[in-house]
Amino acid sequence: MSQRKPSSFVSHLECPKCNKTYSVDEVNQLCDCGTPGTPLLVRYDLKKLKTEWSKSDLLTREPSLWRYRELLPVKSDENVVSLGEGMTPLIPLKKLGEKVGMPNLLLKDEGTIPSGCFKARGAAVGISKAKELGIKSLAMPTNGNAGGAWSLYAARAGIEANIVMPIKAPKITRSETAIAGAKLYLVDGLISDAGKIVGRAVQKNNFFDASTLKEPYRIEGKKTMGLEIAEQLDWEVPDVILYPTGGGVGIIGIYKGLKELQEIGWIGEKMPRLVAVQATGCAPIVKAWEENKKESDMWEDADTLAFGINVPKAIGDFLVLESIYETDGCAVAIDDETIVKCQEEIASIEGLFVCPEGAANLAAAKKLREDNWIKEEEKVVLLNTGAGIKYPYDPGKPAILQPDEDI
Ligand SMILES: Cc1ncc(COP(=O)(O)O)c(C=O)c1O
Ligand SMILES: [Zn+2]
């Protein structure tokens, strides 16, 4: 077994549109091509990595996303800010799977991660790299969960965080942000409105802009979901992965991570078909996919209770669509009523209280199975991006008993 101290093989940032390269040792945000600019992707020396890293190196590593240290962008261990995030369980949904004609149905449960949401992955890697780059204060728009996670990791790193979220974001994410000592601002609007406020604040106050895909490192944290799924299935990728898509960082990340695993020879040619799941109240990616377009249009009057995916226009939409087209995947929209029914179904049959965004995946998988787009024997992974307890749920009207009453 290798005794070598893990390090990063990170080499540079690259624009996926014009291929211009940028350094990972200084602050870089968007490529200057296009309007409002293009997200940059982190590149590694995969040729070198292929000869110097092996699967057996993982055997003695901690069960966190930092086990994939070589494929992460942080250079020095001193800068790693970790709360033990990653290696979430991949749980077989046997009973539910049989009920819906998919006996090989699995759920990756991100509800068990620090902050109760997969956003901790992006925050851990994003904040670690921000620390490495010497950043002292950042600002970000959020639909709630990312703001909570980034505030907590920023506190641990000693970085000041300025968070702007819609008034309608889940209330608990306000608490996470505030208790971590971040500056919390609410906006009577959508995440796109919060984004505009952050854009002005960045110009005025010289904050680091930590908006989705405007800093290149959050995606590196999220890609570890793909690396974990591959490792947990013994390096045989599933047939289908369903992902609740808002800004799309998770689906882009999973695709990127799996491509990197292919390049270093850890997985074969097969890619899972990636499915972007959205809500009917906000489905710009689904619309673009149905129209076979490369980019999405702004979705008017976006509204869904699955708040994390209430994103009317994602800056990385072209990358989301590419990951779907390249894997022969698809995009599906689900209405709020069905989302809640699926939440109840997963909890009452499998004992998992998933978030609405995660529950939307079940509805989408059922629909795709009915259309025979998913075949019975296929291995299907639902990504539950967070804990259901972070969201309001109406338990109905429980009976109120007097102490001497029986049930
Ligand atoms: C619970 C949950 N699921 C999914 C998403 C969408 O994430 P992504 O930006 O990766 O599409 C979010 C984003 O806020 C979220 O909070
Ligand atoms: Zn460019």
Pocket probe for ligand 1: among 319, 384, 385, the residue whose CB has the most ligand atoms within 8 Å is 385
What digits encode the pLDDT tens for the residues 152-181? 999 999 999 999 999 999 999 999 999 999
Domain end marker among 209, 240, 264: 209
CA-closest residue to ligand 1 atom 13: 308
Domain membership flag for residue 306: yes
Instruction: Pick the closest to residue 208 from 157, 170, 254, 282 (CA basis).
Output: 157
Instruction: Answer yes or no: do 169 and 23 share one domain.
Output: yes
Residue showing tokens 């980034």: 150
- Check if 39 has its Cβ closer than 6 Å to any atom of ligand 1: no
Instruction: Answer yes or no: do 152 and 181 share one domain.
Output: yes
CA-closest residue to ligand 1 atom 15: 308
E strand intervals along 311-362: 330-334
Strand order through the sheet with 41-44 = 21-22, 10-14, 41-44
Question: 227 - beta bridge partners?
Answer: none
Instruction: Answer yes or no: do 265 and 140 share one domain.
Output: no
pLDDT at 34: 87
Domain membership flag for residue 397: no
Residue showing tokens 């990312």: 146
d(CA 45, CA 71): 9
Rg (CA), the chain: 21
Cis check: omega of the bond before 114, within 30 degrees of 0: no
pLDDT at 1: 42
Instruction: Answer yes or no: do 145 and 290 share one domain.
Output: no
Instruction: Answer yes or no: do 249 and 377 share one domain.
Output: yes
Q: 331 C-alpha vs ligand 1 centroid, how far in Å? A: 15
Instruction: Answer yes or no: do 57 and 177 share one domain.
Output: yes
Domain membership flag for residue 132: yes
pLDDT at 7: 74
- Check if 304 has its Cβ closer than 6 Å to any atom of ligand 1: no
Instruction: Answer yes or no: do 380 and 301 share one domain.
Output: yes
Domain membership flag for residue 326: yes
Domain membership flag for residue 1: no
Instruction: Answer yes or no: do 203 and 258 share one domain.
Output: no
Copy the structure tokens of residue 398: 């429980």
Instruction: Pick the closest to residue 239 from 203, 275, 208, 264 (CA basis).
Output: 275
Instruction: Answer yes or no: do 154 and 238 share one domain.
Output: no
Q: With contact defined as beta carbons under 8 Å apart, do 166 and 116 qualify? A: no
E strand intervals along 74-178: 90-92, 105-109, 137-141, 160-166
Atom of ligand 1 nearest to the CA of 245: 11
Residues 6+ apart with CB under 8 A from 306: 244, 279, 336, 339, 355, 356, 357, 359, 360
Instruction: Answer yes or no: do 152 and 166 share one domain.
Output: yes
Domain membership flag for residue 394: no
pLDDT 10s digit of each residue in the chain, 407 long? 444 566 789 999 999 999 999 999 999 999 999 888 999 999 999 999 999 999 999 999 999 999 999 999 999 999 999 999 999 999 999 999 999 999 999 999 999 999 999 999 999 999 999 999 999 999 999 999 999 999 999 999 999 999 999 999 999 999 999 999 999 999 999 999 999 999 999 999 999 999 999 999 999 999 999 999 999 999 999 999 999 999 999 999 999 999 999 999 999 999 999 999 999 999 999 999 999 999 999 999 999 999 999 999 999 999 999 999 999 999 999 999 999 999 999 999 999 999 999 999 999 999 999 999 999 999 999 999 999 999 999 999 999 999 999 99
Domain membership flag for residue 2: no
Residue 201 belongs to domain with CATH number: 3.40.50.1100
Copy the structure tokens of residue 141: 């728009």
Give the total number of structural domains in the chain. Answer: 2
Domain end marker among 158, 174, 209: 209
pLDDT at 2: 43
Instruction: Answer yes or no: do 263 and 355 share one domain.
Output: yes
Instruction: Answer yes or no: do 241 and 103 share one domain.
Output: yes
Domain membership flag for residue 98: yes
CA-closest residue to ligand 1 atom 14: 308
Ligand nearest to the CA of 21: 2
Atom of ligand 1 nearest to the CA of 145: 16
Burial class (CB in 10 A: 0-12, 13-18, 19+), 164: buried
Task: Note down the domain range covering 37.
Answer: 10-81+117-209
Question: 165 - beta bridge partners?
Answer: 186
Strand order through the sheet with 380-384 = 90-92, 105-109, 380-384, 240-244, 273-279, 330-334
